[in-house]
Structures are given as structure tokens and as C-alpha cells.
Amino acid sequence: MKNKVVILRTENLTKYYTSGYVFIKKVLGAENVSFSLEKGEVLSLVGESGSGKSTVANMILRLVKPTSGKIYLGDRDIYSYSETDYWRRVQVVFQDPYSTFNFFYPVDKPLMDCFDLIEGASLGNERYPKAERQKIIRTTLEKMGMNPDEILGRYPHQTSGGQMQRLLIARALIIGPDVLVADEPTSMTDASTRVAILNELVRLKKEKEMAVLFITHDVAQAYYISDKTAVMKGGRIVETGVPEKVFFDPEDPYTKSLIASVPKLHERWDFSE
């Protein structure tokens, strides 16, 4: 049997958003979220909006500090890593790629800059001089089925949402992190390009043995891509397991109702009571 290495582990992760100073209002973001992610595995978090999926992602990305609970990357707490050390290991594809790119620079810039995150590589040193960086970017984009001549040198407003999301995945591919957090990576794309992005993620996982935390509200996408699934509701995980079990033979009543409300192409809902 293959030896499995747990790369990311959360323990009783809880987050309360608070507002006000004297009369403090508390809103539950996530409560007692525990899961583990192995090398080369895709875990999908499924749930409606407001179920705490993105809160969990933000806590893993160190954007939001958990109220209680611990997150371990490898065997160390995530807050014990330095900033560059952490981003070398954990990367993200956000829901809205337009907010990720700087609008004043061409899309090459984040791709060129990301080499600095690779160990021992700063701009101008021998390992990754500028020409070498450009060469790597070109081969990566070609591998992803994009035309580098067409896309490089453009500004963010000249590219489509789907292309930008794929550029972000290309960036992750260059850095080669241990964990990729994909927060609704197909939100900006059409049905026709959605599958291409999903296939790209599957390839990344296989080739680079990357662990992917895939966050989505689309049950079918979660089933297509994942090795393990967790269904969230109101900040809690209500059901976990292999996708075949969770989506086709669910135990939790909430999961059942979630699956039942997915429209099917070859079947009509019956509303006649």
C-alpha cells in the first residue's frame, strides 16, 4: 500500500466574527472544523453560501486568524512559518481573479515575480535570470494549452476571467507548492472552459503530487474532481467521506436535500403535490 503523508491538518478550527467594542456582536464563521489533507489528494468543501467554506480557506491562508483551534502544515503550526516560507508551500486561486491581478501591470508581472518565492531565487541571481524565467513561463503556458504570444504582455482588462484563472493556476504550477487552495476557481467561466480548468487541476495533482483544497457550491464539480468530500452547513462539517458515498448514498438529511435540489438534464422535477 502507498504510504500516505498528511500535509495539512486542521484541529477544531473555530472562528467567530465580532463587531463592536462595548456591545460585542458575534457571528459564527466556522465551528469545530477538523480535516486532514494528504499529498496528491483533492478534498472538496461543498456547501451553500454562508456555510463557512471561504472562512476555512481564509484561515488556512492566514488571512483570518482562528478564534480557537490549530492548523498544521506538515508537522508545524502554520503561524510558525515565515511569510515567504509559507507562501512557498501554500498557494491560492481566488474566486474573483480580477481582484488578484494588479491592473497597472501586464499579466506577466505576477508570473515573473513568483520566482522569488522559490528557494534561493532572487531577481538577477544565477539560478533564475530574466531570460530563464521567461522561458519557464512560456513552456508552462504552452503545457496548459494557452498561447503565450497571445496572452503575455496583455493587461488584466484585456483578458477574460477564465484566462486569468488559468494564469493563476500556471503561477501555482511554477512555484510548485505543497497545498493549493482553490476557492471556486471556475466561478468566472463558461461551461465550455470549466472542464478545462478542472482537468488542469487534476493534472497538477497527479504530476506534482500537490494537495488541493477545492471549495465549491457546485456538487457535480466536487464529485468530478475530488478524492474526499466534506459537506458544510452553518459553519460545521455535517458529512465527510468518499464522493461516491456522500453524493450518491448520503446519510445526513441536509446532504440529501442538497443533492435533491441539483437540476438534472435528463430528468424533470415534479412539483405537482
Interface with other proteins (CB under 8 A): 48-49, 160, 190-196, 198-199, 217-221, 223-224, 243-244, 247-248, 257-259, 261-266, 268-269, 271
Report which DSSP code applies to 3: P
CA dihedral 164, 204, 138, 111 (to 10 degrees): 50
CA distances from 239 to 35, 141, 171, 226, 253 (A): 11, 38, 33, 15, 10
CB of 268 to other proteins, least distance (A): 6
CB of 191 to other proteins, least distance (A): 5
Q: How many helices (H) and strands (E) does the chain have?
A: 10, 10
Closer CB to other proteins, 57 or 117, in the complex = 57
Report which DSSP code applies to 157: G
Q: What is the largest CA-CA distance in the chain?
A: 72
Q: 102, 73, 44: which is closest to 243 by C-alpha? A: 44
CB of 126 to other proteins, least distance (A): 39
Closer CB to other proteins, 56 or 225, in the complex = 225
Closer CB to other proteins, 113 or 244, in the complex = 244
Q: Alpha-carbon distance 72 to 74, whole Å?
A: 6
Is the Cβ–Cβ distance between 162 and 188 less than 8 Å?
yes
CB of 188 to other proteins, least distance (A): 9
Closer CB to other proteins, 28 or 121, in the complex = 28
CB of 140 to other proteins, least distance (A): 19
CB of 265 to other proteins, least distance (A): 5
Q: Provide the phi-psi class of 195: left if phi over 0, else alpha when psi is between -120 and 50, else beta.
A: alpha
CB of 98 to other proteins, least distance (A): 15
Closer CB to other proteins, 68 or 199, in the complex = 199
Sheet containing strand 211-216, strands side by side: 90-93, 179-183, 211-216, 42-46, 228-233, 236-241
> Contacts for 117-121 with beta carbons within 8 Å, 24 or more apart?
117/84, 117/87, 117/88, 117/175, 118/88, 118/174, 118/175, 118/176, 119/88
CB of 228 to other proteins, least distance (A): 14
Closer CB to other proteins, 9 or 217, in the complex = 217
Closer CB to other proteins, 190 or 251, in the complex = 190
Return the sign of the alpha-carbon dihedral for residues 165, 170, 173, 175. negative
Closer CB to other proteins, 13 or 144, in the complex = 144
